[in-house]
Chains A and B, each alone.
Chain A
Amino acid sequence: TQLLEQSPQFLSIQEGENLTVYCNSSSVFSSLQWYRQEPGEGPVLLVTVVTGGEVKKLKRLTFQFGDARKDSSLHITAAQPGDTGLYLCAGGGLGETSGSRLTFGEGTQLTVNP
């Protein structure tokens, strides 16, 4: 059973478009991380959100943690080809226990065409 469901799994858009990636679970997490991974490299941490309702911005990327800490979204404004990559969400502290192992979503493969 996949505890963290990401959608969509694949997304191909044109440069300049906006997009949102969703990460949903029926379980509560103490924190949620978003990573981006490019071919031939390991995942690179983008952000960690820990408070229900929290919103964090990283240039054109906006991350939100759901009020109940069961879901999260990543919104990219005016996507660029450099945003292309595999986006992974990962929940920490399943069941509100901090320090336990991360639970990864299935990933969203984003392609931004010039």
Chain B
Amino acid sequence: SAVISQKPSRDICQRGTSLTIQCQVDSQVTMMFWYRQQPGQSLTLIATANQGSEATYESGFVIDKFPISRPNLTFSTLTVSNMSPEDSSIYLCSFRQGSDTQYFGPGTRLTVL
């Protein structure tokens, strides 16, 4: 399977600022996903990002808060805007290979003070 990486691996940010998380896959993939995960808990899908179209957001997540870019088939970014302590979480990118199998990046651990 392809290798997937994320930057940064962790960050501590001030309330009201924004952070952009980068996700790079070493081969071309059609569907990429962004998830949020509280430590020790399951994953919550934020949005699906397909190249050449706007991201599709899940209920409870909006583009103004979590803008996503997908400029090509190997790269995507997720921005967490106007952060508050409630945004502290692990953010994971993922891609799909085949019909249903997904692979995940190592995650970005975000702490908002």
Q: Which residues of A contact B (CB under 8 A)?
A: 30-31, 33, 35, 39-45, 48, 50, 86, 88, 90, 92-93, 98-99, 101-102, 104-107, 109
Are the CB atoms of A93 and B42 closer together than 8 Å? no
Q: For the complex formed, measure the closest distance between the CB of A4 and the CB atoms of chain B, giving whole angstroms.
A: 9
A107 proximity list for chain B (CB < 8 A) = 40-42
Q: Which residues of B contact A (CB under 8 A)?
A: 1, 33, 39-43, 45, 48, 92, 94, 99-107, 109
A98-B99 Cα distance, complex, nearest whole Å? 6
Q: For the complex formed, measure the closest distance between the CB of A89 and the CB atoms of chain B, giving whole angstroms.
A: 10
User: Residue of A at shortest CB range from B58?
Assistant: A101
Picked from A35, A44, A92, A109, the residue with its CB within 8 Å of the CB of B40 is A109
B41 proximity list for chain A (CB < 8 A) = 106-107
